[in-house]
Chains A and B, each alone.
Chain A
Amino acid sequence: MPNLDAAFSALADPTRRAILARLALGEATVMEIAAPFEMTQPAVSRHLKVLEGAGLIARRIEGTKRPCRLDTEAIEEIDRWLGMLRQALAQNYDRLDGVLAGIEPRKRKGKR
């Protein structure tokens, strides 16, 4: 199971989020990833290492290149977590809809 702690702290950095956004478009090499950033390849590599350590990306070896891609399992786990929250809240708020429908204006104590 991917480490959520590492995943979320990896996501805290805007550059790393931008890298993930790039990878959402498809697999890319370090050079391709570095292109839009004003950053050296070693700096990008450090970010990639963090993302890889957090289980957010996976890399394969292709000759001298090590292309990166999103590790969808880790991403899905975070999605699942947020989805759980969504469901939990939605349920209570649906119940609140019913409560609100039953609120009588007369229950106010003359304080308008």
Chain B
Amino acid sequence: MSKMTLRTEGDRFVVVTRRFAAPPKAVYRAQTEPKLIQKWLLGPDGWRMRVCICEARPGGRLHYEWENNKGGSFSITGEFIELVPFSRIVHVERMHLPETTPDNHVETRFDADGAGSLLTLRMTLPDAKARAAMLSTNLEHGMEASYVRLETLNTGGEQS
């Protein structure tokens, strides 16, 4: 099944698209309602989202925190910049590993696609150093990472 596409746009962006059977409204809700977010934005098996604050309004903050059974934890904080209900979200976020990574902008679009929807995620490509770090981190973790890992990579971008 090839529902998802991932491509680089120039050397600055990564664009991901994914089709869902559910309409844009449901996909949007799943990305903005904490009770729903906590069900899927989990990372590798064994990780839990112990903090999930998502104030989905302009200027609202987001704060996600994950932990696993081995004492590991990390978090993401950010702010929402623009929200067009059920169609577009722009936010900025940073990762705490615990060292804080530079801010990163992410645009998420939700478009109707037949009875379902097309999700388009456009994020800044982190610099190569961060990508290399991500690659080795993921390999260590058996590459079973998730969106969470992408965020890591995404926010790790501007480190020298």
Contacts and interface: CB of A to CB of B under 8 A. Distances in A.
B135 A84 contact: yes
Dominant secondary structure of chain A at its interface with chain B: helix
Interface stretch (A31-39, A64-72, A86-94): A86-94
Contacts of B18: 89, 93
A12 interface: yes
B14 A85 contact: yes
Nearest to B152: A88
Given A5-B128, A7-B128, A84-B138, A92 B147 contact: yes
A12 B11 CA distance: 5
Interface residues of B, number: 42
B20 to A, nearest CB: 6
Interface string A1-12: 001111111011
Given A4-B132, A93-B4, A99-B39, A88 B27 contact: no
Interface of B: 3-4, 6, 8, 10-11, 14, 16, 18, 20-22, 26-27, 29-30, 36, 39-43, 119, 125, 127-129, 131-132, 134-135, 138-139, 143-150, 153
B143 A89 contact: no
> For this complex, into which size category does the number of interface residues on chain A fall?
20 to 34
B147 A103 contact: no
B85 to A, nearest CB: 9
Contacts of A92: 40-43, 146-148
10 contacts: A4-B128, A84-B134, A85-B6, A89-B4, A89-B146, A92-B148, A93-B4, A96-B20, A97-B21, A103-B36
